[in-house]
Structure 1
Amino acid sequence: MRTVRALFGRRARLRWLHLIMGGALLMPYFLVGTVLVGMAGGGQQLFSSVPAQLGAFGLALPMAAVTGLFALVRPLCVAAARALCGVPTAVLADGPARTRQARVRTAGWYTLHLALGGIVSGATLALPPFAVAVAALPLSPGLRSTWLLDGPEPLREPWALALAPFAGIAMLVALAAVAAAAGEVLARRAPVLLGPTPEDRLAAAEGRAADLAVRNRLARELHDSVGHALSAVTLQAGAARRVLDRDPEFVREALTAIEETTRRTVGELDAVLGLLRQDGEPDGEQAAYGPGLDALGGLLAYCGVPVAYESEGGPEAPGAVRPDVSREAYRIVQEGLSNALRHGGVAAHGAGSAPVRLLVAVRAEELEIVMENPLGDRAAVARPGGGRGLRGIAERAVLLGGRAGAGPDGDVWRLTARLPLAAPGTAAGTGPGTRAAGAERSGTEAEGRR
């Protein structure tokens, strides 16, 4: 039963059809080869000469190989192989063949397909009528008189006629076996010749890495913006609820802070969601959308915690920082404030506790950020499993070529970040992969402490 399925099952029939398609594609090249052979041999007995036909077949294959070098041949071959050869989708490459290696492999597959297809197609056209005629010899006196009258003496024996039907069936089975074997050869060679080349795999990996980088950046934007807003709003609302009857003026200020925080966050959220709704992938500049250090005043005014802010490098220094560094520095400060609200002594003792200290210093070659807040109850600081905030800070710093760290220092929690003002270098050890790995390690260590 397994043998019958292998020779005549659905997959075998589809592969047979695939081979016949290869024979049909071979015909134009074969006709050109026939013309060339006829011109070389004077056109004598061209179609009845086996050597002439073999010569035309031999000339057709190199011409087919040249056609297979075109880039658009690969997607057509891949589509046919997936549909008819039963080759798994994942092992075949998508898109045109762009590299030399991909084109050579495609040409090899195309030539192999047409060569095997030409042989199987020719046998499919010629052998079944002959096999049927042989099988019908015992039943047709006309066939016997035509075929056996001048044939060898053994073929005139009764036992030879009795075996003729079995011989005809054997020919058809042999044809099916040849077609199945040829289809299996194509199916086994498809992943090698039509599969992704090392260049294709590298391009796909780079595409996935770029897509992941954009998604991670957008995720960090949402985490820092929405997370900070929720922390600030929660703290302000809780403080306002506690003093609602005693201090209406404080409640009014808290509600104003909640209004300003939510309005700013809704604008940032709408911008990020707009990037996610785009048909194409946002480029790096779009994905880095967000406020910069010039908006730091509004953030500190309505963050829900008193902040002692100090700027070094001149009053206009933060505004002169490169835009991408300015955006990342703003997010780092925002996440630091969120951590102070959620985990520090500020959240534990309310808005009247010791203020957060923030230093933003523009040095000759780097931007330095230092933030300190009271540590509070150590049990309240610990978070099972950690969070994503400090990891995001580390990623932002390392991807710019800088560094960041956070941890307890006495009775305060200190967050530091140093961001280079110049573009990140391309020296060994500072490429994107190295920076991303460093960000992952730094973020994981910081989260474990926080």
Structure 2
Amino acid sequence: MTLLLGRRARLRWLHLIIGGALLMPYFLVGTVIVGSYRSGADVFSAPADQFAAFAFALPMAALTGLFPLVRPLSVAAARSLCGIPPGVLADGPARTRQARVRAAGWFTLHVALGGLVSGLTLAMIPFALTVMALPFSAAVRNSPMLGLPEALDRPWILALAPFAGLAMLLILAGCAAVAGAVLAGRAPVLLGPTPDDRLAAAERRAADLAVRNRLARELHDSVGHALSAVTLQAGAARRVLDSDPAFVREALAAIEETTRRTVGELDAVLGLLRRGEDEAHGPALDALDALLAHCGVPVAYTAEGDPELVPEAVSREAYRIVQEGLSNALRHGGSGTRVELRIAVDARELRLTMDNPLPGQAPAVRPGGGRGLRGITERAVLLGGSARSGPHTDGVWRITARLPLHHPGQENR
């Protein structure tokens, strides 16, 4: 009984009745078409004419189902009334021909089954109730509209009439349940995502992941560098607090400048997160002097070429690569490490080289460490370039990066 009259069955029955209501405009047009060939005939009373109008209505409904917005409306109704679980049906309008054809097939099936079930519902419920009332009302038995044959006006037949009426209602509920199950079973096929929908969803997920990875690199390079510099300078200042006040003042000034700059960069990244947009942001090579002046290690910087040739996207990524290289030198070499930085720009690319001495002992392994050097490579690859890092000659750790000045993906960054 739950299968026939349970909550899901009732909702699917309602869904079918809605389909019948949607069929009515097409059905009325179909009756006009049939009536134009059957002049003088009452097309609303002849069953053959009714089925002919129904046959004319379905192609018109199929054409309507080709509109892109039919799919999201059908999906919303199917999810709420047919009991389709989340994630099975597609989201958004039907953009491709295959998706529109599938949605049109669903819409046509919905209105066709809905029209049949609605017609049965409107006809059988009053008739079944009338049959059930036959033993209890002589007026009903003698009604000329019912036209009950005299042979059926017998006590034992009338005693069975309520059961016959109840059987009609159960048959009607069974027809509605079967039609609803057919609709629910075809929903994943006709309203589910097409291969193009799956590809578009995968591309959106990849784009979202790329944005999250970029934001993670920005936070790692900016905040990680600041924390490394502040930690080392604070530790050095603590050791000479009583013996070298001048050095302590310089260290505190460097800490203040580093944290001020990092707060500004952090605000830019958090603002990007709030807006949810992948807009240009963050410092570039024009802010490199301030970074080198308060990075916590002495830096010998040489530049070649015209910095005006460097596009903004390349300039931002080059700044972050230098920042991560300085953080790496601070972590592994301490505040006494000397860094040599060379940046050369020509008409085709920016070449960046950073050298610092290898530490005397192996650095401590940090849980989850190594993301910074990997981020340098990712930044270079996204611009169509390359980057390498590792031991060089004579106890030197070297980071090199080659960034093309023009790459197809740069205008979107």
- TM normalised by structure 1 equals 0.85
The alpha carbon displacement at 1:121 in A equals 0.5
SS of 2:370's partner is coil
The alpha carbon displacement at 1:301 in A equals 1.3
1:352 is matched with which residue?
336
> CA contact under 8 A between 1:375 and 1:381: conserved in structure 2?
no
Q: 1:35 aligns with which of 27, 32, 35?
A: 32
Q: 1:310 aligns with which of 297, 302, 305?
A: 302
Q: What is the correspondence of 1:141-156 to structure 2 with a 5 Å cutoff?
A: 141-144=138-141, 151=149, 153=151, 155=152
Q: Kindly tell me: are residues 328 and 236 of structure 1, through their superposed partners in 2, closer, same or farther at Cα, counting changes over 3 Å?
A: same
Give the Cα–Cα distance (whole angstroms) in 1 for the partners of residues 14 and 148 of structure 2: 38
1:107 is matched with which residue?
104
The answer to whether structure 1 residue 396 and structure 2 residue 396 are counterparts is: no
Give the Cα–Cα distance (whole angstroms) in 1 for the partners of residues 143 and 257 of structure 2: 103
The answer to whether structure 1 residue 415 and structure 2 residue 411 are counterparts is: no
1:194 is matched with which residue?
191
Structure 1 residues 332-341 or 42-51, which shifts more?
42-51
The alpha carbon displacement at 1:253 in A equals 1.7
1:243 is matched with which residue?
240
Q: Kindly tell me: are residues 294 and 149 of structure 1, through their superposed partners in 2, closer, same or farther at Cα, counting changes over 3 Å?
A: closer
Give the Cα–Cα distance (whole angstroms) in 2 for the partners of residues 138 and 301 of structure 1: 103
Give the Cα–Cα distance (whole angstroms) in 2 for the partners of residues 93 and 43 of structure 1: 48
Q: 2:322 aligns with which of 325, 333, 336?
A: 333
> CA contact under 8 A between 2:309 and 2:347: conserved in structure 1?
no
The alpha carbon displacement at 1:340 in A equals 1.0
Structure 1 residues 399-408 or 328-337, which shifts more?
399-408
2:251 is matched with which residue?
254
1:132 is matched with which residue?
129
Q: What is the correspondence of 1:202-217 to structure 2 with a 5 Å cutoff?
A: 202-217=199-214
Aligned residue identity for 2:271: G
CA distances 1:4-56 after superposition (whole Å, capped 9, x unpaired): 11100011111111111111111111111111101111131322211111000
The alpha carbon displacement at 1:142 in A equals 4.5
The alpha carbon displacement at 1:391 in A equals 1.8
The alpha carbon displacement at 1:373 in A equals 1.9
> CA contact under 8 A between 2:89 and 2:188: conserved in structure 1?
yes
Q: Kindly tell me: are residues 275 and 150 of structure 1, through their superposed partners in 2, closer, same or farther at Cα, counting changes over 3 Å?
A: closer
> CA contact under 8 A between 2:131 and 2:164: conserved in structure 1?
yes
Structure 1 residues 385-394 or 320-329, which shifts more?
385-394
Give the Cα–Cα distance (whole angstroms) in 1 for the partners of residues 70 and 357 of structure 2: 67
2:73 is matched with which residue?
76
> CA contact under 8 A between 2:383 and 2:409: conserved in structure 1?
no
SS of 1:90's partner is coil
CA distances 1:82-125 after superposition (whole Å, capped 9, x unpaired): 11111112112222222222222111111111110110001001
1:301 is matched with which residue?
293
SS of 1:89's partner is coil
Give the Cα–Cα distance (whole angstroms) in 2 for the partners of residues 330 and 385 of structure 1: 23
> CA contact under 8 A between 2:78 and 2:187: conserved in structure 1?
yes
The answer to whether structure 1 residue 170 and structure 2 residue 167 are counterparts is: yes
Q: Sequence identity, in percent? A: 71
SS of 2:44's partner is coil
Aligned length: 409
Give the Cα–Cα distance (whole angstroms) in 1 for the partners of residues 142 and 367 of structure 2: 95
Structure 1 residues 24-33 or 199-208, which shifts more?
199-208
The alpha carbon displacement at 1:162 in A equals 4.0
Q: RMSD value over aligned CA atoms?
A: 2.4
> CA contact under 8 A between 2:382 and 2:409: conserved in structure 1?
no
The alpha carbon displacement at 1:213 in A equals 1.7
Q: Kindly tell me: are residues 322 and 406 of structure 1, through their superposed partners in 2, closer, same or farther at Cα, counting changes over 3 Å?
A: same
SS of 2:233's partner is helix
Unaligned residue ranges in structure 2 (runs of 5+): none
Q: Kindly tell me: are residues 73 and 424 of structure 1, through their superposed partners in 2, closer, same or farther at Cα, counting changes over 3 Å?
A: closer
Q: Kindly tell me: are residues 375 and 146 of structure 1, through their superposed partners in 2, closer, same or farther at Cα, counting changes over 3 Å?
A: same
- TM normalised by structure 2 equals 0.92
Q: Kindly tell me: are residues 149 and 238 of structure 1, through their superposed partners in 2, closer, same or farther at Cα, counting changes over 3 Å?
A: closer
